[in-house]
C-alpha cells in the first residue's frame, strides 16, 4: 500500500513512518517542520518532502498513486493563550480542508485522522443521585481555592469519573480542542459527500521517544522530563490527582497501521489509549524516580481550559481494529526516563 503521511517528521508521525516501512508499505512523508515542534530536520527522518499540507498543488501531486492518507500534521498541545488561535485554525483546520479537497480530486477515499481525547472536554461522570451527567466547566474561584473536582450540575454533589467511550458528546474547552473537533467534522462531511472512509483516532496522552522538549506545545510527560534534564523538580498543577490515560507512542503507531490496513465505511471515531488510568502525579513521581531526579512539586492552580479527569474505554479499538496497547505504564515510563527527546 502507498500511503501519504502528513506530519511524518513529527513525534508520532515518525514512529508511524517507521512502522509502515517495517511492514513493507510505501510511505510518502510530508512535513513543513513548524518551529513549534522542530528546531531543524530530525536526524531520524530521511527523504521527507518539506512542504505545507495547505499547498493544494503540492498535495495533489503527492497523492498520485496513493491508496490512503494518514493525517498527523497539526499544531498540538495547550499553546500559550487565545492569540494562538489563528496558528491552530490555519494549520489544523484549513490544512485538513485543503487535504480533503485534494483527496477528492485525486480519488483517494481512505483517511486515518489524528484526533484527540481533548474533543471530549471533561470525561464521563456519574452522580449517585442523577446518573450520567456532564459537569460544567470549573470556575476560576474554585480552582484558586483548591476545589478541583467537578460537581454534579443538578445537585452539587461529588461525582465518580468513569471511562469515556466514543459516543460521548463533544465538548472542546481549548483552542486546540476546538480545532480537533472541526477536523473531525470536516472529515465526516467529506466521507458522506464522497463515499470515503475515515478512522478518527482519538489519542489520549501520548509519550515516548522523540517528544519535543522545552516547548509549551509539548505534552505533560515531555514537560516533566525536560525539567528533570535541567536538574529541576517537575511542577505538577492542581493536587496531582487528575486522571489521564498515558499511552506509549509505539502503541499509537501500531493503531495507525492497523487502521490503514483495515477497511472502513463512513466516519468511525476510535479511542487510542491503554485502558488503564493513572494520575498526573503518578507520572511525575514515577518519572522522577526512574530518572533519579528531584521529587515533583505539587503547586496547585490550573491552566485555563484544563479538565479534571478524562480516561477512555479501549473496547471499540479492540473490537474494530484488534488493537490492544502492549507497553505498560511502569515499563514505558522507565524507558522514557532515558529516551531521546527532540531539541
Q: Report the candidate in 132, 101, 95 with the shortest Cα–Cα distance to residue 114.
A: 95
CA pair distance 136, 125, nearest whole angstrom: 11
Find the Cα–Cα–Cα–Cα dihedral 115, 116, 122, 126, rounded to 10°: 80
H helices of the chain, where? Answer: 11-22, 56-62, 85-88, 95-106, 140-144, 175-194, 220-229, 249-261, 280-291, 315-321, 329-336
Cell of 275: 485502558
Residue 114 β-bridge partners: 201
Q: Which long-range contacts link 147-150 to residues 24+ away (Cβ below 8 Å)?
A: 148/238, 148/239, 148/241, 148/242, 148/302, 148/308, 149/308, 150/122, 150/125, 150/308
> Hey, where are the domains in the chain?
2-123+164-337, 124-163
Q: What CATH topology corresponds to 2-123+164-337?
A: Rossmann fold (3.40.50)
Exposure string of 261-289, with b = 16+ CB inside 10 Å and e = fewer, is ebebeebbbbbbbbbebbbbbbbbbbbbe
Measured in whole angstroms, how far is the alpha carbon of residue 294 from the centre of its chain?
A: 28
Tens place of pLDDT per residue across the chain (343 aa) = 999 999 999 999 999 999 999 999 999 999 998 766 665 666 655 678 999 999 999 999 999 999 999 999 999 887 778 888 999 999 999 999 999 999 999 999 999 999 999 999 999 999 999 999 999 989 999 999 999 999 999 999 999 999 999 999 999 989 999 999 999 999 999 999 999 999 999 999 999 999 988 776 778 999 999 999 999 999 999 999 999 999 999 999 999 999 999 999 999 999 999 999 999 999 999 999 999 999 999 999 988 778 999 999 999 999 999 999 999 999 999 999 999 988 6
Q: Are strands 124-127 and 205-207 parallel, antiparallel or unpaired?
A: unpaired
Q: Return all residues near 278 (Cβ < 8 A) that are at least 6 apart.
A: 243, 244, 245, 246, 329
User: Cα angle vertex 280, ends 279, 285, to 5°?
Assistant: 100
Return phi, psi of residue 240, to 5°.
80, 0
Amino acid at each position: 500500500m502507498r500511503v501519504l503521511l502528513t506530519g511524518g517528521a513529527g513525534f508520532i508521525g515518525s514512529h508511524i513512518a517507521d512502522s509502515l516501512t517495517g511492514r513493507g508499505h510505501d510511505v510518502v512523508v510530508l512535513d513543513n517542520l513548524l518551529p513549534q515542534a522542530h528546531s531543524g530536520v530530525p536526524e531520524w527522518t530521511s527523504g521527507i518532502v518539506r512542504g505545507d499540507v495547505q499547498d493544494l498543488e503540492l498535495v495533489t501531486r503527492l497523492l498520485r498513486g496513493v491508496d490512503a492518507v494518514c493525517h498527523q500534521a497539526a499544531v498540538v498541545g495547550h499553546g500559550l493563550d487565545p492569540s494562538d488561535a489563528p496558528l491552530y485554525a490555519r494549520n489544523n483546520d484549513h490544512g485538513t480542508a485543503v487535504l480533503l479537497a485534494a483527496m477528492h480530486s485525486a480519488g483517494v477515499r481512505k483517511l486515518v485522522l489524528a484526533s484527540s481525547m481533548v474533543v471530549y472536554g471533561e470525561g464521563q461522570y456519574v452522580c449517585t443521585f442523577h446518573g450520567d451527567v456532564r459537569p460544567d466547566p470549573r470556575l476560576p474561584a474554585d480552582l484558586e481555592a483548591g476545589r478541583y473536582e467537578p460537581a454534579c450540575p443538578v445537585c452539587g454533589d461529588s461525582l465518580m469519573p468513569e471511562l469515556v467511550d466514543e459516543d460521548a458528546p463533544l465538548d472542546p474547552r481549548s483552542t486546540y480542542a476546538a480545532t480537533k473537533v472541526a477536523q473531525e467534522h470536516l472529515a465526516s462531511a467529506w466521507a458522506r459527500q464522497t463515499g470515503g472512509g475515515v478512522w478518527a483516532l482519538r489519542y489520549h496522552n501520548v509519550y515516548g521517544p522523540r517528544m519535543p522538549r522545552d516547548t509549551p506545545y509539548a505534552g505533560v510527560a515531555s514537560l516533566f522530563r525536560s525539567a528533570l534534564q535541567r536538574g529541576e523538580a517537575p511542577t505538577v498543577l492542581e493536587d496531582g490527582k487528575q486522571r489521564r490515560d498515558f499511552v506509549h507512542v509505539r502503541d499509537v503507531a501500531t493503531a495507525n497501521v492497523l487502521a490503514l490496513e483495515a477497511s472502513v465505511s463512513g466516519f468511525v471515531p476510535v479511542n487510542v489509549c491503554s485502558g488503564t488510568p493513572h494520575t498526573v502525579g503518578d507520572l511525575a513521581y514515577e518519572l522522577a524516580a526512574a530518572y533519579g531526579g528531584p521529587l515533583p512539586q505539587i503547586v496547585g492552580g490550573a491552566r485555563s481550559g484544563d479538565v479534571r479527569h478524562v480516561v477512555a474505554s479501549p473496547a471499540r479499538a479492540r473490537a474494530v481494529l484488534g488493537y490492544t496497547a502492549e507497553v505498560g505504564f511502569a515499563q514505558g515510563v522507565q524507558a522514557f526516563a532515558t529516551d531521546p527527546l527532540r531539541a
